[in-house]
Amino acid sequence: MVREQAMQSNSMKQPAFDEKGKLKEKILQVEDLQVTFQTFGGVVQAVRGVTFDLHKGETLAIVGESGCGKSVTSNAIMGLIPSPPGKVTNGKVIFKGKNLTAFNKSEFRKIQGVDVSMIFQDPMTALNPTMSIGEQLTEGLRTHHKISKADAKTKAIEMLNLVGISNPHERLKQYPHQFSGGMRQRIVIAISLICEPTLLIADEPTTALDVTIQAQILELFAEIQEKTGVSIILITHDLGVVAKIADRIAVMYAGKIIEIGTKREIFYAPAHPYTKGLLNSVPRLDLLEEELQPIEGTPPDLFAPPTGCAFTARCPYAMEVCSHAYPVETSLFGQHKVDCWLQDERAKGIFS
């Protein structure tokens, strides 16, 4: 079912490619990003060398189970890692030709909300309960572009129309508690888009919503991307969501991207055993008899991550080499890349 959805929407839109089938310009390059957190128990290596690119108008989904470093990666791009205890220890985040990891707080403030914006998981808590939504919508705009109150209001009404909130004029004066969950997420989206950012990071934007609203919000994303050409990094663990709106998918495990490729490549030809496990653990409504196949075991402790592949302990195809050395990245067909020893020439013989 997930795969069918993927096929449908894939044929509908492909904004990341131009007519010749080539990728558009890169707007974000993340190179070997590493983030650690100092805790009482020691240093947690939350992100251990993440590398990916993002193109203009593209939606990249980062998937993986809880605690694998998805949110930390996105917070690092946004400059929202609380420091201390968090620290970006290595790597580059190149956005519009500048390395964001070298930015200080006030330099970050100049791009936060303007060039890069973020949508949070829970719309029930992401809005300030004591401020009218009009003020919350316009404050970012008024901080970054010194415009008049009236102009800001016009823009706010325009944004509310864009995200599909009726009666925007009256709604501006209201407070978050006067809106439903789905409406609040629309407002959060409006806030994040009001300064017309080039990059939007959505951290599990539909997790806290019920299923019917989820579909609406996902459609809204597609619509907005079409209208504004914004690039989206979508953090999620919901493969249904990914199938619907992602162009490319990066699978994260234990602080690393272990497989990355287009949606088709990941859904139809997953190469990493973890990705396969992830796809197998999606409930399927069309197969009544089939039981859900969870991935056995738990992710490794990131206080002391293993030297080899972090998935070794749970991997049904684990080999001796897996626990000793981290696999080199293998480029498969197209943009499909995977970190797995099974792709090594020497391993291929075993399974053929």
Query: Does residue 38 touch other proteins according to CB under 8 A?
Result: no
Q: How many helices (DSSP H) and strands (DSSP E) are in the chain?
A: 13, 12
Nearer to other proteins, 26 or 142 (CB): 142
Measured CA to CA in angstroms, residue 50 lies from 66, 93, 155, 200, 218 at distances of 17, 10, 37, 19, 26
Extended strands (E) in the chain: 26-39, 42-55, 59-63, 86-95, 98-99, 116-119, 199-203, 231-236, 248-253, 256-262, 329-331, 337-339
122 is a site residue for other proteins (CB under 8 A): yes
Which of 80, 318, 332, 347 touches other proteins (CB under 8 A)?
80
**Which residue among 38, 154, 178, 307 contacts other proteins (CB under 8 A)?**
178
Number of residues that bind other proteins (CB under 8 A): 32
The order of strands in the sheet holding 98-99 is: 42-55, 26-39, 86-95, 98-99
Candidates 50, 111, 241, 338: give the one binding other proteins (CB under 8 A). 111
Q: Kindly state the smallest distance separating residue 14's Cβ from other proteins, in Å.
A: 29
Is 327 among the residues that bind other proteins (CB under 8 A)? no
Tally Cβ neighbours within 10 Å of residue 59.
Answer: 27
Q: What is the dihedral of CA 223, 227, 231, 236, to 10 degrees?
A: -10
- In 10 A of CB 346, how many CB atoms? 9
Pairing of strands 86-95, 26-39: antiparallel
Among 191, 246, 254, 260, contact with other proteins (rule: CB under 8 A): 191
Binding segment (CB under 8 A) for other proteins, from list 122-130, 250-258, 303-311, 331-339: 122-130
Q: Which of 72, 114, 152, 199 binds other proteins (CB under 8 A)?
A: 114
- Rounded distance between C-alpha atoms, residue 189 and residue 191, angstroms: 5
Start-to-end CA distance of the chain, whole Å, equals 29
Give the nearest distance from C-beta 208 to other proteins in angstroms: 10
Contacts of residues 19-25 at CB distance under 8 Å and 24 or more positions apart, as own/partner, are 23/55, 23/58, 24/55, 24/56, 24/57, 24/58, 25/55, 25/56
Among 92, 109, 237, 264, binds other proteins (CB under 8 A): 109
Shortest gap between Cβ of 81 and other proteins (angstroms)? 11
The yes or no reply on residue 188 touching other proteins (CB under 8 A) is yes
Query: Looking at beta carbons only, is 52 or 120 nearer to other proteins?
Result: 120
Contacts to other proteins from residues 328-347, by CB under 8 A:
none
Asked if 237 touches other proteins (CB under 8 A), the answer is no
The distance of closest approach from Cβ of residue 43 to other proteins in the complex, given in angstroms and rounded to an integer, is 18
Quick check: 144 binds other proteins (CB under 8 A)? yes
Residue 78 lies near other proteins (rule: CB under 8 A): yes
Cα 241 to Cα 193: distance, rounded to the nearest angstrom = 20
User: Which residue in the set 54, 63, 88, 127 belongs to the binding site for other proteins (CB under 8 A)?
Assistant: 127
Verify binding: residue 160, other proteins, rule CB under 8 A.
no
- Binding stretches for other proteins (CB under 8 A): 78, 80, 108-114, 117-118, 120-122, 125-132, 139-140, 143-144, 175, 177-178, 188, 191-192
